[in-house]
């Protein structure tokens, strides 16, 4: 039963107020994309041990989508941030690297492809 | 219109709190840019209230305005004036990007009154209802058991709550079960 | 015999007698008794039969760890199986029945299993009932089902109510013994918001029973003062009869409060599940005493030593007149001393340690109690109750030195900390060799959202074995916990406790050391599941080296007590058999709840009328009053049809179908989703949402649209109306409003957040009524106020105005093929408008119709229905809806997916009409067979039925279906096998059965 801080309304929301939306930072592929790229976008997801970026919606609350950086093994939450960005904020990335030395966002992006 | 009726037409229940369906309330949804002075002024003209801070509501007499999300407000007004207020807002905001709609009839409103009002809500919503965490002026959207709801406290022992009209029976029965004599928790002192 | 003592019993109110019923006998106890203490006081030693061998079993413990005394409690709607007698408080009128015996507790035929026990070793069922396969279903299973099973399942609906409560605190303290009380007091004094839970009805735990002294006074007095102090703190909430049931992620914990179980049935909720969020959780859950493994350790009258003293001190109940104490530690001597003090006989203390105990042993000797050190029990004599014990040397193989007559045995194998809550959320354990138990490893606490530990364990649960150590540990643990959450503790020393020093315990895993197989096969580890020392040894021999495998193979620890007594003993036997150290073998995983909790508490308020929200339209009440036959559509209740007096559902549907086509029907269409989409980029956005073009729709016009998911499949449909320059109103299906609104918001918020579009779900703002049939226009004209003529309001147009004085929007759209208007009025006026339509429609035989009629009318016209023609695997192209797929747009959701090769496969099944050769109605979902069989030997298929109805207008069955190359096979007859083995032939035809040219809707 997670608690995630909604960056839009500031509520520390109980998991029962939230809806999970899977992996974050996926680029949409559409008309003009190759079959392989489209399949990757549509169906392929990572499930890393450790740091992960996810989409959540504060559905029983302000209704906004946001992103969360979370450790999939310990459920430690490194931070939440706006869904309206292509990349997590730099201070969050620095914070994660502080907590998980050796980890980097570019590494995480690589595991996605 | 005189033949307009609210979902439960004022039904009430007397337990260790009093639960009352509040009849017809005027409510508008307004979506727009809170940074816009045009919007701030238009809301103020309709409600005589300032824009509320995050998760709060401001009320004045029979009007008020509540923070629903970073781009959505709930405006409270007399039921019969809702359509007129929609027109006024639409006119004031005509050069802005906005959406305003009368949602009065999409909702049902309840009042939970009594010393146990806080704990009755805390039986149904995953929200810290202790006086230090939830005070007068706060406004919270959440779920009430299995349905979305929002509430605020006009005074120390009253909760006013809105939900969708279609679940008015469900919400009334939830509050009734939670507020039944003998089910007191006495957690907040 | 077990009996009530003349004096004593700190929990009893001897002035208030309570009568209850056990197995049909009227018995008496006192207020404050548990069912266990009351039964023992009535000399009811035998309380149940074991699960596998049906051995007679008595009460072993005094708390929730009790494995044997499981009862069926209450009657009818208040019936509950598998309740522990030790945690059940008696009240006037309580009824209890013991379990797992037939025909009676005293004479149980299942006991033959016991004589056969030699042939029913570990894994017996797995090994025996393998072959032949049919025998399992017809022979073994029915027999085992009859013989097995603990409690009975309730037959009636639960008459009680339950509820949840969401509590947010700084510190949750679980356990109201001295350590927990002290932790709560320290946290409370430091200003933290504290919730303290105690599972039993009493505060103070074991310390008052054990005769501890705190601050120079009896523990009882300290407990009373501390409880008073806590009750006076506004920031502390205390709940007894409330068990800390589980600890979960991010400081979430469950408390299981039993509000009325100790009373006769009440109107108040029976259980309350506390759903707690705590910044820090302190568990002070104490320890559970372990049994010793000697032959016959399950004979009624053999009890844990600590429990024997609980019964004497707390309930004034003696388990026997002559009690032999058998131990590997000093604590059990307290039991001997208390028994002696109560005037009871202790013929012997058998201490397995070669040199015995310390000061407590000297006290016992001074009381004249015989102490035998280095000795063991070779076996217990007696069947349904203890008659004596045979003494032997612990170091030997069980040669009997002497028989000591007695009627009770108090055993102690040491104490195991209750580490369950610590472990629930990932806390790790370390093995303490000196105490032979696992205790929490403070370096490996469960971690919360911030990555820091959020659970601490204090007191005996943390391995602090004496009262003094407990108190010191509680203060230390609480101070650290408070600092961790930013609260400064008050620096005052822990209260002092006086106690006698104890000699170290010795690990004794079986008695005697070299016991023969015969003895080992009567040493019970898990009482409830009848797992013996010999079973675990056999499992080890057969290669079950992992404790998790051994657990499942032998069923050790798998009963309702979840191994509270058997866990460590079983583990030690396994380690010994594998010649490994206990920590190497490991321990099984503790999972919540700590102790079974009721299903009702888990469900909370969600029962009966509030099991689930039911969405009701503004016209729901009219339906209730007028014969609505309801069907669920999403969370909505919609009328399937409105039955008149004496009418069957089928008759009502046929009447509604004919009346609507012939004159005038009314449908409550309020459930259809109504979403406003507004903004400078709204047109662009809707062009992405819908497969067809919406940006070029003219204000005042309507257009039918399709929505697909990003992977191409049809997800919703409905009519879109353009309200003004930058505003559209999107109608969705009944079930789709919230889903489609969320779908739009998701794309706007997470992909096209720079587009200027706002949406609002206005579904419930309006009551929407479809006015349908040749007389639809006439009835609206009679109401008056709006020109609804063909020229003023053409097909697929809408306008706003007054109809009969009501604020209305009229949409001239048709899902029936008839002249039809959908009129939206504010929900608050919906009922009045409906009534007005009924009144003026009387002359046209106005007929309210339900969803089945709606379906038949649309099927007659070949209109698809989301959820019938679509099932998440169907694309618009399959349904011949190419006309709704814009060729002008570069992109829309689903477009790219529809270009994938599977989507463009010419062999995808396509929509056609189907009419049976004999006019009958095709079964819904039936498949059309083709030649040949597939690799599984099943017949190949070439199509399936998606919608099928009896059309009263056409006087025959009509259907739609998806068929291989269907549109190219018009007139061909295909075969549909039916469930009853017969077949029905149907001809492929145009899906439009009625008014093919659409003349009726365009009038």
Q: For residue C373, what are the β-bridge partners?
A: C351
Strands C95-98 and C766-772, how do they pair? unpaired
Q: Inspect the interface and report whether the beta carbons of A62 and B142 lie closer than 8 Å.
A: no
Q: Does residue B188 lie in a domain region?
A: no
Per the CB < 8 A criterion, the answer to whether C265 and C159 are in contact is: yes
Tokens of C176: 């109201």
- pLDDT for res C53: 82
Contact B153, C239 (CB under 8 A): no
User: What is the arithmetic mean of pLDDT over B100-112?
Assistant: 98
Which domains are delineated in chain A?
3-107 (3.30.2270.10)
Task: Give the minimum alpha-carbon distance from A86 to chain B in angstroms, rounded to a whole number.
Answer: 20
pLDDT in tens, B57-77: 999 889 999 999 999 999 999
A55 vs C750: CB contact, 8 Å cut-off? yes
Q: Which residues contact C58 (CB under 8 A, 6 or more apart)?
A: C45, C46, C47, C68, C69, C299, C300, C301, C302, C303, C385
Residues 6+ away with beta carbon under 8 Å from C116: none
Subunits with 3+ C-beta pairs closer than 8 A to C: A, B
| Cβ count within 10 A of residue A86 | 6
Q: Do B143 and A9 touch (CB under 8 A)?
A: no
- Asked whether residue C122 carries a pLDDT value surpassing 80, the answer given is no
- pLDDT recorded at residue A109: 87
| B93 & B121 share domain | no
Q: Of B55, B78, B105, which residue sits at a domain end?
A: B105
Report the C-alpha gap between B11 and B18 in whole angstroms: 11
At residue C469's C-alpha, the angle toward residues C466 and C472, to 5°, is: 150
Does B6 fall in a domain?
A: no
Cα angle A54, A60, A61 (rounded to 5 degrees) comes to: 90
Pull the structure tokens for residue C336: 């001997």
The answer to whether residues C827 and B105 touch, using CB atoms and an 8 Å cutoff, is yes
CA proximity to B161, closest of B131, B185, B134, B188? B134
CB B111, CB B160: distance < 8 Å: yes
Give me the residues of A, 63-92, that contact C with CB < 8 A: 63-65, 71, 74-77, 83-84
Q: Does B53 touch chain A (CB under 8 A)?
A: no
Q: Which residue of C has its CA nearest to B96?
A: C679
Interface of C with A (CB under 8 A): 248-252, 277, 447-451, 710-711, 742, 745-746, 749-751, 753, 890-891, 895-897, 899-901
Which of C764, C805, C806, C835 to mutate to probe the B interface, most B CBs <10 Å? Answer: C764
Does residue B112 sit in the same domain as residue B174? yes
Q: Which chain A residue shows the shortest CA-CA distance from C898?
A: A31
For each of the domains in chain C, give its residue range(s) and CATH number, in order of start: 1-158 (3.10.20.440), 162-286+418-498 (3.50.50.60), 302-416 (3.50.50.60), 517-580 (1.10.10), 620-670+765-858 (3.30.1360.120), 677-739+750-760 (3.30.70.1400), 906-989 (2.40.30.110)
**How far is residue C526's CA from residue C1001's CA, in Å, rounded to a whole number?**
76
Assign C130 a pLDDT band (cuts: 50, 70, 90): low
B94 falls within a domain: yes
Query: Would you state the pLDDT for residue B128?
Result: 98
| Nearest alpha carbon to residue C151 among C92, C101, C201 | C101
Query: Residue C107's pLDDT band (boundaries 50, 70, 90)?
Result: confident
Residues B19 and B43 occupy one common structural domain = no
Angle (deg, nearest 10), helices C547-554 and C567-578: 110
pLDDT, residue C132, reads 63
CA nearest to B144 within chain A: A60
Question: Quick check: A76 and C450 CB within 8 A?
Answer: yes
Cα–Cα distance measured from residue C120 to residue C127, given in angstroms and rounded to the nearest whole number: 10
Size of interface B-C (CB pairs under 8 A): 143
Q: Is C117 helix (H, G, I), strand (E, B) or coil?
A: helix
Question: Are residue B72 and residue B120 in the same domain, yes or no?
Answer: no
Asked if C763 and C673 count as a contact pair (C-beta separation under 8 A), the reply is yes
| Best CA proximity match to C280, nearest among C449, C431, C52, C415 | C449
Q: How confident is the model at residue C673 (pLDDT cuts 50, 70, 90)?
A: very high
Please name the residue that has the structure tokens 């006019």: C919
| Neighbouring C-beta atoms of residue C982, cutoff 10 Å | 8
Same domain? For B116 and B93 the reply is: no
Report, as an integer, the average pLDDT of B106-115: 98
Report pLDDT digits (tens) over A2-48.
999 999 999 999 999 999 999 999 999 999 999 999 999 999 998 89
Name residues whose C-beta falls within 8 Å of residue C701's C-beta, 6 or more positions apart in sequence: C721, C722, C796, C797, C798
Q: Residue C352 and residue C508: Cα distance in Å, rounded? A: 8
DSSP 3-state percent helix, strand, coil across chain C (nearest 5): 25, 30, 45
Which of these ranges, C129-133, C281-285, C355-359, C976-980, has the smallest mean pLDDT? C129-133
**What CA–CA distances, in Å, run from C7 to B73, C11, C316, C533?**
70, 12, 6, 40
- Test B54 with A9 for CB contact under 8 angstroms: yes
Helix and strand totals (H; E) in chain A: 3, 6
Q: Which residues of A touch C750 (CB under 8 A)?
A: 55, 65, 83-84
CA dihedral sign, ordered C847, C852, C855, C857: negative
Give domain status of residue B185, yes or no. Answer: no
- The answer to whether C40 and C2 have CB atoms below 8 angstroms apart is yes
**Backbone phi, then psi, for C649, in 5-degree steps?**
-60, -45
Please report the pLDDT score of residue C548 as a whole number.
Answer: 87
Please report the ipTM that was assigned to this predicted complex.
0.98
- B123 and B80 in a single domain? The answer is no
Indicate the DSSP class of residue C472: H
pLDDT at position C98 over 60? yes
Residues of chain B found within 8 Å of residue C758, distances taken between Cβ atoms: 31-32, 71, 97-99
H/E element, C219: helix C219-231
CB atoms < 10 A from the CB of A42, how many?
Answer: 18
Nearest CB to B173 within list C610, C616, C826 = C610
In angstroms, the CA C311 to CA C316 distance is 6
What order of strands is seen across the sheet that includes strand C213-214?
Answer: C217-218, C213-214, C497-498
Q: Which residues of C touch A30 (CB under 8 A)?
A: 891, 895-896
pLDDT at C510: 94
Residues 6+ apart with CB under 8 A from C944: C909, C925, C926, C927, C928, C961, C962
CATH value at residue B42: 3.30.70.1520
pLDDT band, very low/low/confident/very high, at C149 (cuts 50, 70, 90) = low
Q: E strand or H helix at C539, and its extent?
A: helix C533-541
Query: pLDDT for C532-554, tens place per residue?
Result: 999 999 999 999 888 888 888 88
Chains that contact B by 3+ CB pairs under 8 Å?
Answer: A, C
Q: Who has greater pLDDT, C345 or C264?
A: C345
Q: How far is C483 from chain B (nearest CA, A)?
A: 21
Please count the structural domains in chain B: 2
**Cβ count near A33 (within 10 Å):** 17
- Per DSSP, the residues of C753-811 read TTS--EEEE-GGGEEEEEEESTTHHHHHHHH-SS--STTTS-TTBEEEEEETTEEEEEE
CA–CA separation, C356 and C856 (whole Å): 89
- List the chains bordering chain A where 3 or more Cβ pairs fall under 8 Å: B, C
- Give me the helices (H) in C784-910, please: 830-841, 851-860
> Which pLDDT score is estimated for C99?
84
Residue B54 and residue A61: Cβ atoms within 8 Å?
no
Instruction: Verify that B19 and B72 share a domain, yes or no.
Output: no
Q: Is the minimum CB–CB distance between B123 and chain A shorter than 8 Å? A: no
CA distances from residue C819 to C179, C255, C733, C998, C999 in whole angstroms, order as listed: 79, 61, 21, 10, 9
- Give per-residue pLDDT as tens, C172-192: 999 999 999 999 999 999 999
- Say whether B101 and C762 touch across the interface (CB within 8 A): yes
Share of chain C above pLDDT 70, in %: 96
CA distance C283 to C198: 11
Query: For A54-69, how does the pLDDT look when each residue is reduced to its tens digit (9 = 90+)?
Result: 999 999 999 999 999 9
The predicted pLDDT at position B189 comes to 74
Which residues does chain A have within 8 Å of residue C900's beta carbon, measured at their own beta carbons? 35, 38
* Per-residue CA distances from B30 to B51, B74, C120, C766 (Å): 12, 6, 73, 18
pTM for the model stands at 0.95
C871: preceding bond cis by omega (within 30 degrees): no
Please answer whether residues C658 and C878 qualify as being in contact, where contact means their C-beta atoms are separated by less than 8 angstroms. Answer: no
Q: What is the pLDDT of residues A67-103, one digit of tens each?
A: 999 999 999 999 999 999 999 999 999 999 999 999 9
Is B187 inside a domain boundary? Answer: no
Cross-strand partners of C665? C772, C847
Q: Among residues B76, B105, B134, which one ends one of the domains? A: B105
Domain annotation covers residue B3: no
What are the angstrom distances between the C-alpha of C828 and each of B8, C257, C622? 11, 42, 14
Statement to judge: residues B159 and B138 lie in one domain: yes
Lowest mean pLDDT among A16-30, C93-107, C219-233, C429-443: C93-107
The string of pLDDT tens digits covering residues C773-810 is: 999 999 999 999 999 999 999 999 999 999 999 999 99
Domain termination site, one of B55, B87, B105:
B105
- The number of residues in chain B equals 189
B7 falls within a domain: no
**B70/B118 same-domain check:** no
**What domain range is B89 assigned to?**
26-105
Report d(CA A17, CA A36) in Å as an integer: 36
Q: How far is CA A90 from CA B56, C223, C674, C754, in A?
A: 31, 54, 41, 22
B161 to chain A, closest Cα gap in Å: 14
CATH of the domain at B153: 3.30.1360.120
Give residues 71 to 100 of A whose Cβ lies within 8 Å of B.
none
Same domain for B68 and B18 = no
CB pairs under 8 A between A and C: 65
Q: Which stretch, A82-86, A105-109, C139-143, has highest mean pLDDT?
A: A82-86
CB C618 within 8 A of CB C670: yes
Q: What is the mean pLDDT of residues C949-955?
A: 96
Instruction: Inspect the interface and report whether the beta carbons of B126 and A61 lie closer than 8 Å.
Output: no
Instruction: Return the structure tokens found at A22.
Output: 């899977």
Q: Which two structure tokens, joined as six digits, stand for C61?
A: 């413990």
Average pLDDT, chain C: 94
Question: Average pLDDT of C436-456?
Answer: 96
Is residue B95 domain-shared with residue B82, that is, in the same domain? yes
A38/C896 touch (CB, cutoff 8 Å), yes or no: yes
Tally of helices (H runs) and strands (E runs) in chain C: 26, 52
Helix (H) / strand (E) containing C366: helix C359-366
With an 8 Å Cβ cutoff, is A64 touching chain B?
Answer: yes
Under an 8 A CB cutoff, do B170 and C613 touch?
A: yes
- C231 → chain B, closest CA residue: B189
* Same-domain pairing of B96 and B119: no
Over residues C486-500, the pLDDT tens digits come to: 999 998 999 999 888
Question: Positive or negative CA dihedral for C710, C714, C716, C722?
Answer: positive
Position B1 in a domain: no
Contacts of B107 in chain C (CB under 8 A): 764
């Amino acid at each position: 039963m997670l608690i995630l801080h909604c960056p839009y309304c500031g509520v520390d929301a109980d998991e029962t107020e939230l809806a999970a939306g899977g992996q974050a930072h996926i680029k949409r592929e559409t008309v003009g994309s190759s079959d392989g790229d489209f399949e990757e976008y549509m169906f392929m997801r990572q499930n890393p041990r450790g740091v992960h970026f996810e989409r959540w919606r504060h559905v029983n609350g302000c209704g906004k989508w946001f992103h969360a950086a979370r450790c999939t093994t310990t459920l430690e939450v490194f931070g939440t941030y706006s869904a309206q960005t292509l990349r997590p904020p730099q201070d969050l990335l620095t914070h994660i690297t502080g907590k998980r030395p050796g980890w980097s966002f570019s590494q995480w992006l690589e595991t996605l492809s | 219109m005189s033949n307009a009726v609210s979902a439960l037409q004022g039904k009430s229940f007397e337990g260790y709190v009093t639960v009352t369906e509040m009849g017809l309330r005027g409510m508008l949804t307004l979506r727009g840019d809170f940074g816009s002075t045009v919007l701030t002024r238009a809301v103020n003209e309709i409600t005589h209230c300032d824009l509320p801070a995050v998760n709060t509501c401001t009320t004045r007499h029979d009007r008020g305005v509540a923070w629903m999300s970073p781009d959505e407000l709930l405006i409270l007004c007399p039921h019969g004036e809702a359509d007129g207020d929609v027109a006024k807002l639409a006119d004031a905001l005509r050069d802005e990007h906005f959406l305003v709609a009368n949602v009065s009839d999409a909702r049902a409103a309840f009042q939970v009154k009594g010393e146990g009002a806080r704990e009755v809500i805390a039986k149904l919503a995953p929200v810290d209802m202790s006086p230090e965490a939830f005070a007068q002026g706060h406004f919270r959207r959440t779920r009430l058991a299995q349905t979305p709801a929002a509430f605020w406290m006009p005074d120390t022992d009253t909760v006013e709550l809105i939900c969708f009209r279609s679940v008015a029976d469900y919400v009334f029965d939830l509050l009734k079960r939670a507020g039944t004599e003998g089910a007191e928790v006495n957690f907040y002192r | 015999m077990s009996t009530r003592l003349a004096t004593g019993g700190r929990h009893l109110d001897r002035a208030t007698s309570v009568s209850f019923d056990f197995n049909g006998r009227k018995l008496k106890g006192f207020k404050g008794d548990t069912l266990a203490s009351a039964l023992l006081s009535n000399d009811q030693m035998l309380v149940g039969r074991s699960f596998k061998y049906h051995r007679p079993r008595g009460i072993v413990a005094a708390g929730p760890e009790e494995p044997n005394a499981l009862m069926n409690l209450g009657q009818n709607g208040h019936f509950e199986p598998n309740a522990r007698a030790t945690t059940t408080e008696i009240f006037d009128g309580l009824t209890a029945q013991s379990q797992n015996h037939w025909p009676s507790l005293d004479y149980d035929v299942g006991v033959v299993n016991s004589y056969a026990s030699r042939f029913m070793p570990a894994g017996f069922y797995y090994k025996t009932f393998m072959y032949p396969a049919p025998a399992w279903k017809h022979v073994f299973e029915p027999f085992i089902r009859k013989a097995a099973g603990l409690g009975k399942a309730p037959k009636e609906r639960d008459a009680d109510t339950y509820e949840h409560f969401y509590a947010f605190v700084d510190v949750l303290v679980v356990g109201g013994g001295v350590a927990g009380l002290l932790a709560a007091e320290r946290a409370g004094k430091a200003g933290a918001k504290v919730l303290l839970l105690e599972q039993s009805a009493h505060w103070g735990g074991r310390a008052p029973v054990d005769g501890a002294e705190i601050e120079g006074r009896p523990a009882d007095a300290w407990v009373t003062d501390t409880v008073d102090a806590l009750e006076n703190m506004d920031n502390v909430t205390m709940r007894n009869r409330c068990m800390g049931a589980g600890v979960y992620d991010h400081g979430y914990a469950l408390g299981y409060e039993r509000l009325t179980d100790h009373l006769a049935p009440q109107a108040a909720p029976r259980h309350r599940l506390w759903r707690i969020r705590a910044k820090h959780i302190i568990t002070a859950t104490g320890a559970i005493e372990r049994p010793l493994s000697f032959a016959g350790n399950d004979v009624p009258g053999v009890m844990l030593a600590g429990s024997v003293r609980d019964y004497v001190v707390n309930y004034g109940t003696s388990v026997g007149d002559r009690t032999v104490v058998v131990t590997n530690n000093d604590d059990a001597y307290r039991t001997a001393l208390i028994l002696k003090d109560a005037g009871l006989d202790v013929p012997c203390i058998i201490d397995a340690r070669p040199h015995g105990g310390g000061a407590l042993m000297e006290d016992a000797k001074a009381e004249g109690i015989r102490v035998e050190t280095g000795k063991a029990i070779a076996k217990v004599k007696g069947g349904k109750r203890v008659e004596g014990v045979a003494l032997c040397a612990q170091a030997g193989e069980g040669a009997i030195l002497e028989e000591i007559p007695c009627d009770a045995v108090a055993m102690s194998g040491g104490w195991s900390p209750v580490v369950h809550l610590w472990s629930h959320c990932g806390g790790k354990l370390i093995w303490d060799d000196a105490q032979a138990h696992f205790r929490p490893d403070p370096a490996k606490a469960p971690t919360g959202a911030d990555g820091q530990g959020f659970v601490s364990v204090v007191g005996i649960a943390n391995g602090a074995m004496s009262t003094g150590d407990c108190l010191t540990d509680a203060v230390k643990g609480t101070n650290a916990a408070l600092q961790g959450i930013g609260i400064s503790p008050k620096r005052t020393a822990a209260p002092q406790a006086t106690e006698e020093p104890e000699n170290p315990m010795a690990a004794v895993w079986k008695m005697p050391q070299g016991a023969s197989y015969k003895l080992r096969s009567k040493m019970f580890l898990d009482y409830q599941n009848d797992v013996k020392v010999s079973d675990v040894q056999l499992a080890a021999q057969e290669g079950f080296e992992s404790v998790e495998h051994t657990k499942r193979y032998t069923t050790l620890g798998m009963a309702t007590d979840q191994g509270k007594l058997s866990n460590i003993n079983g583990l030690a036997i396994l380690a010994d058999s594998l010649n490994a150290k206990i920590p190497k073998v490991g321990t099984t995983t503790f999972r919540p709840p700590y102790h079974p909790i009721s299903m009702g508490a888990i469900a909370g308020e969600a029962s009966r009328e509030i099991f689930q929200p039911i969405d009701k339209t503004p016209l729901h009440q009219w339906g209730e009053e007028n014969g609505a036959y309801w069907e669920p559509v999403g969370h909505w209740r919609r009328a399937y049809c409105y039955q008149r007096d004496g009418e069957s559902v089928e008759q009502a549907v046929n009447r509604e179908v004919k009346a609507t086509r012939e004159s005038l029907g009314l449908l409550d269409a309020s459930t259809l989703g109504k979403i406003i989409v507004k903004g400078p980029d709204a047109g662009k956005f809707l062009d992405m949402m819908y497969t067809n073009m919406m940006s070029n729709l003219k204000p005042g016009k309507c257009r039918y649209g399709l929505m697909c998911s990003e992977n191409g499949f049809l997800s919703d449909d409905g009519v879109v109306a353009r309200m003004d320059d930058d505003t559209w109103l999107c109608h969705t299906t009944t079930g789709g409003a919230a889903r489609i609104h969320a779908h739009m918001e998701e794309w706007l918020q997470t992909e096209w957040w720079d587009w200027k579009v706002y949406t609002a779900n206005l579904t419930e703002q309006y009551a929407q009524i479809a006015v349908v049939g040749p007389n639809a226009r006439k009835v609206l004209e009679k109401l008056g106020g709006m020109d609804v003529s063909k020229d003023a309001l053409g097909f697929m147009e809408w306008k706003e105005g007054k109809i009969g004085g009501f604020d209305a929007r009229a949409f001239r759209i048709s899902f029936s093929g008839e002249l039809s208007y959908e009129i939206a009025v504010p929900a608050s006026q919906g009922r009045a408008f409906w009534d007005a339509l009924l009144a003026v429609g009387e002359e046209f035989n106005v007929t309210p119709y339900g969803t089945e009629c709606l379906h038949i009318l649309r099927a007659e016209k070949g209109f698809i229905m989301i959820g019938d023609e679509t099932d998440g695997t169907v694309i618009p192209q399959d349904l011949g809806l190419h006309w709704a797929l814009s060729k002008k747009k570069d992109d829309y959701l689903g477009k790219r997916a529809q270009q994938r090769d599977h989507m463009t496969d010419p062999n995808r099944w396509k929509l056609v009409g189907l009419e049976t050769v004999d006019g009958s109605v095709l079964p819904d979902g039936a498949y059309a067979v083709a030649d040949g069989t597939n690799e599984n030997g099943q017949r190949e298929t070439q199509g399936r039925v998606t919608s099928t109805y009896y059309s009263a207008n056409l006087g025959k069955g009509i259907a739609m279906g998806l068929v291989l190359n269907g549109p190219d096979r018009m007139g061909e007859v295909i075969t549909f096998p039916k469930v009853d083995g017969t077949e029905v032939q149907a001809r492929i035809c145009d899906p439009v059965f009625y008014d093919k040219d659409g003349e009726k809707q365009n009038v």
